[in-house]
């Protein structure tokens, strides 16, 4: 399973765009990239998932370059309520769900 590396923490001001990059150098052909968000004392919440190029939903965008060795989660115009830990995960398709979480990126948004 591909190991992921992401910054331990990031700070942002409200209204700014935040980009969190995750490195997954050993990603395999069948692996998908998934991001989860977690608030204190709550379970993680699915944000977005992708395989290549760009995926966008109502809350975020996920950019994956051609070599797929990294991915960037983009949060447009963050608010205070986006303060949370963000996890990048790599999962192999067709296998039983066994999410491997790293330590995540702690995003702190301030006024």
Partner 1 sequence: DAGVTQSPTHLIKTRGQQVTLRCSPISGHKSVSWYQQVLGQGPQFIFQYYEKEERGRGNFPDRFSARQFPNYSSELNVNALLLGDSALYLCASSLSGLSTDTQYFGPGTRLTVL
Q: Which stretch binds partner 1 (CB under 8 A): 13-21, 36-44, 59-67, 76-84?
A: 36-44
CA 93, 94, 100, 101 torsion-angle sign: positive
Distance of CA 21 to the CA centre of its chain: 8
Paired with 1 in beta bridges are none
Q: Is 26 in the site for partner 1 (CB under 8 A)?
A: no
> Taking the complex as a whole, how short is the minimal distance between the CB of residue 15 and partner 1, in angstroms?
28
Site for partner 1 in 49-108 (CB under 8 A): 49, 85, 87, 91-104
Q: Which among 36, 33, 100 has a CA at the least distance from the CA of 65?
A: 33
Q: Which residues bind partner 1 (CB under 8 A)?
A: 32, 34, 36, 41-46, 49, 85, 87, 91-104
């Amino acid at each position: 399973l591909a190991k992921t590396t992401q910054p331990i923490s990031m700070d942002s001001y409200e209204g700014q765009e935040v980009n969190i990059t995750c490195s997954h150098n050993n990603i395999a052909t069948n692996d998908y990239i998934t991001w989860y968000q977690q608030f204190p004392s709550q379970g993680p919440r699915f944000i977005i998932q992708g395989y290549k190029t760009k995926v966008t939903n109502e809350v975020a965008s996920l950019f994956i370059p051609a070599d797929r060795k990294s991915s960037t989660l983009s949060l447009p115009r963050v608010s205070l309520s986006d303060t949370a830990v963000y996890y990048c995960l790599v999962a192999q398709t067709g296998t039983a769900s066994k999410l491997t979480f790293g330590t995540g990126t702690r995003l702190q948004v301030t006024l």
